[in-house]
Amino acid sequence: MPRLHNEETTLKTIGANVRIYREERGLSQSDLATLGEVDRSYLSQLENGKRNPSIGVLWKMAKVLRVTVSDLTAGA
């Protein structure tokens, strides 16, 4: 059971980091979703810790947000 707790915490941390950087850049979810080539509902779920993003999605988000994948996973 601890593994699930760790995964849940990790996903919430990544989602929070994406949201923080998105808001710092003045982007809406729709803006980031379009630029990152993902559906807005997927991005919403990612930011709420409900989706497990692939490395490809993290890379796209990082590129649009002008940060590293490590920045998005910091603290996870």
CATH number of 17's domain: 1.10.260.40
Residues spanned by the domain of 64: 2-73
CA separation for the pair 15, 12 (Å, rounded): 5
Output the pLDDT for position 2: 52
Examine the pLDDT at 3 and tell me if it is beyond 60.
Answer: no
How far CA 67 is from CA of 4, 18, 33, 73, in Å, comes to: 28, 10, 16, 11
What value does the mean pLDDT take over residues 41-64? 98
Per-residue pLDDT tens over the stretch 33-49: 999 999 999 999 999 99
Work out how many domains the chain is built from and give that number: 1
Examine the pLDDT at 62 and tell me if it is beyond 60.
Answer: yes
CA separation for the pair 6, 21 (Å, rounded): 23
CA separation for the pair 42, 44 (Å, rounded): 5
